[in-house]
A and B are shown apart, each in its own frame.
Chain A
Amino acid sequence: MSPKQIIHLTVNGDHHDIAVGPTETLNQVIRDGLRLTGTKRGCTSGSCGVCTVNDERGRAILSCITLAVECDGRSITTVEGVERDGKLHPLQQAFLELGAVQCGVCTPGLIMSAMGLLNTNPNPDQRAIDEALAGAICRCTGHIKVKMAVAHAIQQIAASAGTETHGQPG
Chain B
Amino acid sequence: MASRADFNAVGKNQPRLDGFAKLSGRSEFADDIHLPGMLRGRIVRAQISHGRILNIDTSAAARVPGVKAIVTVDDKPNPIIGMYQPLLNRTVRFIGQEIAAVAATDDDAAFEAAALIRVEYEPLPAVLDLEKALLPDAPQLHAKGAGNLAWEANEVFDDPDAMFAESDLIVSGAYSSNPSHNCYAEFHVCVADFSRADKLTVWSPTQTAVLFQKSLATAFGLTEGNVRMMTLNTGGAFTGRGMARPHHFIAALLSRKARRPVKLRSYSDEEFLMGRAGGRALYRFRTGVMRDGRLRALEADLLIDAGAYIETQMLFPRITAPFFHLLYKVDAIRYRARLAYTNNLPYEWHHGGGIAQMHFGWGQHLNQVAMDLGMDPVEFHLKNAVEKGHVTRKGATFASCGLKKCIEKAAKRAGWKRKYGKLPPNKGIGIAIGAMASGGKGMYKHDTSAAFLKVAEDGTVSLLTGIPDMGQGSHTTMAIIAAEVLGIEPTDITIIAGDTDVTPFDLGAFAQRGTFTTGNAVKAAAEDARSQLMKVAAGRFDCKPGRLVFRARQVYPKGQPERAIPFKQLVYDTLHSREGRAVMGRGFYNSPKEAGSMAYSFGAQIAEVTVDPETGFVRVDRMIVAHDLGRAINPRVVEGQIDGQVFSGMSQVLYEEVLMDDGQPLNPSRLEYKLPRAFEVPVVEHILVETNDPFGPFGAKEVGEGPIVCTVPAIANAVAMAVGEQIREMPISPWRVLRAVSRQQDPADDDES
Contact = CB atoms under 8 A, between A and B. Distances in A.
Contact of A102 (B473, B669, B681): B473
A66 B235 CA distance: 24
B34 A142 contact: no
Contacts of A88: 20, 23-24
A82 B24 contact: yes
Nearest to A46: B671
A101 interface: yes
B15 A104 contact: no
The listed residue with most A CB atoms (<10 A of its CB), out of B18, B23, B34, B647, is B23
In which size bucket is the chain A interface?
A: 35 or more
A83 B19 CA distance: 13
Interface string B485-513: 00000000000000000000000000000
B646 interface: yes
A165 B87 CA distance: 59
Contacts of B234: 103
Contacts of B351: 139
B183 interface: yes
Contacts of A111: 23
B236 interface: yes
A142 B644 contact: yes
Contacts of B25: 36-39, 78-80, 108
A136 interface: yes
Interface in B325-384: 351
B601 interface: no
Interface in A68-100: 78-80, 82-83, 88, 92, 95-100
A143 interface: yes
Contacts of B238: 139
A99 B640 contact: yes
A140 interface: yes
B681 A144 contact: yes
A151 to B, nearest CB: 11
A142 B29 contact: no
A91 B108 CA distance: 38
The listed residue with most B CB atoms (<10 A of its CB), out of A23, A50, A140, is A140
A96 B19 contact: yes
Contacts of B678: 129-130, 133-134, 136, 143, 146-147
Interface stretch (B153-161, B184-192, B536-544): B184-192
A102 B677 contact: no
Contacts of B29: 37, 40, 104-105
B534 interface: no
A13 B259 CA distance: 39
A145 interface: yes
A130 B238 CA distance: 25
Contacts of B670: 43, 45, 47-48, 137
Nearest to B184: A139
A101 B677 contact: no
A5 to B, nearest CB: 16
Contact of A103 (B185, B646, B675): B185
A101 B23 contact: yes
Given A137-B677, A139-B647, A141-B643, A105 B183 contact: no
7 contacts: A47-B670, A48-B185, A98-B636, A129-B678, A131-B679, A144-B681, A145-B639
Interface of B: 13, 15-16, 18-29, 31-32, 34, 108, 182-187, 233-236, 238, 267-268, 271, 351, 470-473, 636-637, 639-640, 643-644, 646-648, 650, 669-671, 675-679, 681, 684
